[in-house]
Amino acid sequence: MTPPFRAKLQADESEPPLSHRTLPLPSPSPSRRATRIGLVAIALWSTLALSTAATGAVPPFLLTALTFAIGGLVGLIAALRGPGLRVLRQRPAAWLHGVGGLFGYHFMYFSALKLAPPAEAGLIAYLWPLLIVLLAAMLPGAGLKRTHVLGALLGLAGTIVLLAGKGGFSGFEARFLPGYLAALACAFIWAIYSVSAARFADVPTQAVSGFCLATAILAGLCHLAWEETVWPAGAIQWAAVIALGIGPVGIAFYAWDIGMKRGDVGLLGVASYAAPVLSTLLLVATGFATARWPLALACLLIVGGAWIATRAGRQHART
């Protein structure tokens, strides 16, 4: 009988030296990869203000119809290389979730802007990142991460500073209550749509193309009912519309779907507050806005909040 230490020595001698072994390279977990993809959506949304300004006087619902039609077609063309039109055969609950989130958010947002001052309506509507963080705590096994809540509150503070620095705050008045409620509904719709995406993990991301096309049809009907038609004027404005449809409306919603289904939902909620700051920085860089001290303070608050949430997430991953 071979002694144990002798058997161990023989086993070690039978193995190749470490320099001759093929060691597996570390690869990012699906959750981290999905989170990074979700961050792409936030980066694309930061170009919305600049891209929308380049579209001229196209009314909101018509612009929504055009861009969502482009975004839906982009996704549908990509789906034809894989599952094909089968991605549109989803259960009614998935369609209600997708179309309700995409169209419901935009309908309530545009309604809020018509019924209340834009600054106040925009601030209320941008409560959705904080709501995402709070609702994400209800996901199975998630738990409420106080660092995510702190990061989201810092992001909200930065957004308040940023919007207040632009001017336009006239105070909340009772006569604008319908607009405020529409903005609040807008925030809740997007937060619920985002967090509940995990419950539709079996629905492929390509199915978002169908939700976009349905949103385009509904937005077109709203345009015919309430708006005067103003088409993009010239090649530059049409190019801006196409760019909006491909990027902030098309790719962004597909990326957000991946991030919400398989990424760190709380961290993405905190990171979403970076969008208005990045948007303002782009406007400053292109000469559409001037740099002021509130922008710098907003950057510090939002970046600080994102750093707190990211650092907590890394510590949780190590444990």
Distances (CA, A) of 87 to 69, 197, 204, 210, 211: 17, 16, 7, 8, 11
Chain centroid to Cα 16, Å, comes to 49
**Which residue, chain included where needed, has tokens 């936030």?**
42
The dihedral through the CA atoms of 99, 100, 105, 111 has a sign that is positive
* Confidence band of 169 (pLDDT split at 50, 70, 90): low
> Are residues 203 and 90 in contact, defined by beta-carbon separation less than 8 angstroms?
yes
* pLDDT given at position 161: 82
Lowest mean pLDDT among 158-167, 200-209, 310-319: 310-319
Mean of the per-residue pLDDT values for the chain?
Answer: 83
85: pLDDT confidence band, cut at 50, 70 and 90? Answer: confident
pLDDT of residue 310: 67
Task: Name the one residue in this structure whose structure tokens are 């604008």.
Answer: 176
Kindly tell me the sign of the dihedral angle through the C-alpha atoms of 87, 244, 31, 156.
negative
Q: Which two tokens stand for residue 74?
A: 């982009």
**H runs (alpha helix) in 247-292:** 252-262, 265-271, 274-285
How many Cβ atoms are within 10 Å of 265's Cβ, its own excluded?
A: 25
Structure-model confidence comparison of residues 213 and 53, the more confident one: 213
Look at 167 and 150; give whichever has higher pLDDT: 150
Q: Which of the residue ranges 130-144, 150-164, 174-188 would you say has the lowest mean pLDDT? A: 130-144
Calculate mean pLDDT across residues 237-255: 96
Mean pLDDT of 172-178: 84
pLDDT of residue 17: 42
Q: For residue 134, what pLDDT is reported?
A: 83
- pLDDT (mean) for 76-102: 92
Instruction: To the nearest 10°, report the CA torsion of 254, 257, 259, 262.
Output: -130
Is pLDDT of 205 > 90?
A: yes
d(CA 151, CA 305): 4
pLDDT of residue 176: 87
Residue type, 63: L
What average pLDDT does this structure show over 162-182? 78
Mean pLDDT within 53-63: 94
Is the pLDDT assigned to residue 2 strictly greater than 50? no
* pLDDT score of 167: 65
User: Any idea what DSSP says for residue 21?
Assistant: S
